[in-house]
Amino acid sequence: MAMGETRSPNMSPRPQDGRTRRSDSDDAGGQEADATGLPVVGPGRVAVLSGDPGSGVTRLGLVMLAEHAGRGVVSYLDVRGWLNPLAAWEAGIDPDRLVIARCRDAVRWGRATAALLDGSSAVFAEIPDGVKDAQIRKLAALARNRRTVLLLRPLSRTVPAGIAHLTLDAYETTWSGAEGGHGRIGRRTTRFRASGKAMRGMTRTIEMEDDGSHALRLVSGMAAPETGRALG
Amino acid sequence: MNAAAAREGIRRGMRRGEAEGICPRVASIERDRSAEMIAFESVVAAVEGLIPRVEIVEPGLIFVPVAGAVAYYGGEAALVERVVKEIDRVAGDGFRVGLADGPFAAKHAAEAASGVPPVLIVEDNAAFLAALDISAVGREEVVATLRWLGISTLGELARLPGSAVASRFGPVGADAHRIASGRDRAPNPREVPIDSTVVERFSPPLRDLDHAAFVARAMAGRLISTLASIGAAPFRIVVEAEAADGTVRSRTWRSADPLDDRAIAERVRWQLRAWVDGVGAGIRGGLVALRIEPADLSGTGRQLALGEDSHAAAETHRALTEAQAIVGADGLLQAHPQGGREPGEQVAWHRWGEEPIVRRDPEAPWPGRVPGPSPALVPPDRRPFHVEWDGGMPVRVRLGTRWVEVRSWAGPWRRIGRWWRGENPRDQYQIVTSAGAFLCEVDDGGTWLVGIYD
């Protein structure tokens, strides 16, 4: 997303301005990123969203789900049982289109996610403890096969390498509106490290603004070289 | 609403506050169709004892074809007298009986019945229907326009040419004209495919009603999918349950509109609960077989909307049913908005596949409601939250094992709570740290986490 432009973060293909390019290695699902580093998570793609509770990852995931709610039911696999559907409705998901599955057990989690991938246009799944890498790889393959968007939110583990089309790691959040007991929180700015195939191999920092309305606003797409080990 | 409430002057559709103004002792309870069906089961059984082929429309309303019974009991008046006597014996007052040509007229005759006992036997069907208000057609989308055109009774509508009404209002208008003309819907006489009946056998017998209802939902989905493949939908179903002691019980449910999978599952659940908890022997030893048989198939109602993908809808239903089987009936949920002040109160949860029950009006003003944006994560019960305070201001919060500085905060907002229910007053704060923002409450017992702005 370009500096100062208002766009949705899940970044549906926008070929009209000529900035969206398709790489040579693209497969049927389409691997797209615009010139400013805007990643695309289309049908059959897997995205990994990580960050501390409070960093805005759930909200980002819900906005990404909302983009696919027009195509059918979207599902949220709620391992903790904490999801507040109010936030989903604020993100633009119709209550009739949102199904929430609760499952803590690692074995049943895989089967439940697979079933949801079969019947939903997009699935946002929190990953509980005890889930094996092979299980996640199978689900990613199933998502590709069913052309369902799969958003993974690891709660306490990492996702195996190579499956995510896009990885967004929230590392800094600031809120405005509340100060010294006055006002109330209103606008959030979150910085994410974005990497994966959608970013064409580069790690970039993107900053998103969220005022609680239907869409997030990406205010910058800054290239940020990864910090290497330094000896001083 | 019971008879005592009616005697106090309370009427259907009255607002709760209005009813409490008339009668402060009135108790308002949430509508529970299963409980209604349990109570109604005795009436169904009593009428069934007199006349076979009773058809249930909903808890509180049954239709009975009486052609044979009128001859058997020696006339309409004698038959109605027997029916009234039986219902009075099992249910007491509060019922109404109507006898007319066809279900639509009979239902309105029952609604119009007054006197002691409240019975209305319609002699002239056409004249009775002609006098009914236009709202009786039940198609809100055409009723307002018809009134605006000066048509206020069914008779006036029936006198219009059917083709003109259909041309002006489409299928809904044609339906309204048919009803006004006293013609009940005639389902297409389509043959019911032999393999469309769905049967499930259980070994060991099912004893848990919730489990049985859960199975019924999957069966209903299968039934509708099978019928959808031939472009049909049922207006009537027969629910049959076999108990471990060999007893087989059966009931017929009908509907004015095609039954969908949700409606069928609901009716099976009501019926099973009525058999288990209502009058009669129950289902002794548990349920060994459940059977749902469709009848009165029709293509009506199966016309797909432009863009509707029946295959995708069926696939979604199948997949979600499977997911529900994996995570359990209470593990697959949907939610709808309802009124309330706290984030958790504003959500009406229900199991996927069941009807939402919204207890509080979301459109009503809720002063003091936690303002948006809403916290994306809300724990089911508030959790202890470690906050370090300095002079009434939050300084640090503990997240897991680390302490994080508070960057900014807002509050306190005083929540008085429902003191008459023993709720203590508390103060709410929004606390912002470098790791995120939190909604918390402070009361005499400490500080509690009630939401995370994730």
Of A84, A120, A177, the CB nearest to B376: A84
Q: Is B376 touching A (CB cutoff 8 A)?
A: yes
- CB contact at 8 A, B86 and B79: no
Domain spans of chain B? 1-30, 31-123, 129-180, 194-301, 383-452
Q: Is B318 touching A (CB cutoff 8 A)?
A: yes
Cα B272 to Cα B367: distance, rounded to the nearest angstrom: 43
pLDDT tens sequence across B378-425:
999 889 999 999 988 999 999 888 899 999 999 899 888 777 777 788
Q: How many Å from the N-terminal Cα to the C-terminal Cα in chain A? A: 36
Q: What share of chain B has pLDDT > 70, as a percent?
A: 94
Give the domain B194-301 fold: Dna Ligase; domain 1 (3.30.1490)
- CB contact at 8 A, B293 and A65: no
pLDDT tens sequence across B311-324:
567 778 878 888 98
Q: Which residue has the higher pLDDT, A2 or B166?
A: B166
Find tokens 């339906």 and name the residue. B175
DSSP character at residue B445: T
Average pLDDT over residues B352-378: 84
State the Cα angle at B390 between B384 and B392, rounded to 5°: 75
User: A104 pLDDT exceeds 50?
Assistant: yes
SS3 B183: coil
CA distance B426 to chain A (A): 16
Cα B290 to Cα B239: distance, rounded to the nearest angstrom: 8
- Cβ distance B333 to A101 less than 8 Å, yes or no, reads yes
pLDDT tens sequence across B100-122:
888 888 989 998 888 778 888 88
Give the domain B129-180 fold: DNA polymerase; domain 1 (1.10.150)
With bands split at pLDDT 50, 70 and 90, how would you rate the model's confidence at B188? low
- Cβ distance A185 to B432 less than 8 Å, yes or no, reads yes
Of A56, A89, A102, the CB nearest to B454: A56
- CB contact at 8 A, A16 and A223: no
With bands split at pLDDT 50, 70 and 90, how would you rate the model's confidence at A77? very high
SS3 A139: helix
Find tokens 């019974």 and name the residue. B69
Phi, psi values for residue B222, rounded to 5°: -65, -40
Which value does ipTM take for this structure? 0.80
Domain spans of chain A? 41-222
Summary mean pLDDT of chain A: 77
SS3 A113: helix
DSSP character at residue A39: B
CA distance A111 to chain B (A): 7
User: B451 pLDDT exceeds 60?
Assistant: yes
> Strand locations in B352-435, DSSP E?
383-384, 387-390, 393-399, 402-415, 426-433
Q: Is B315 touching A (CB cutoff 8 A)?
A: yes
Which chain B residues are closer than 8 Å to A183 by Cβ? Answer: 410
- Cβ distance A116 to B399 less than 8 Å, yes or no, reads no
Q: Which of B273, B275, B277 is nearest to B265 (CA)?
A: B273
**For the whole model, what pTM was predicted?**
0.62
Question: What is the CATH code for A41-222?
Answer: 3.40.50.300
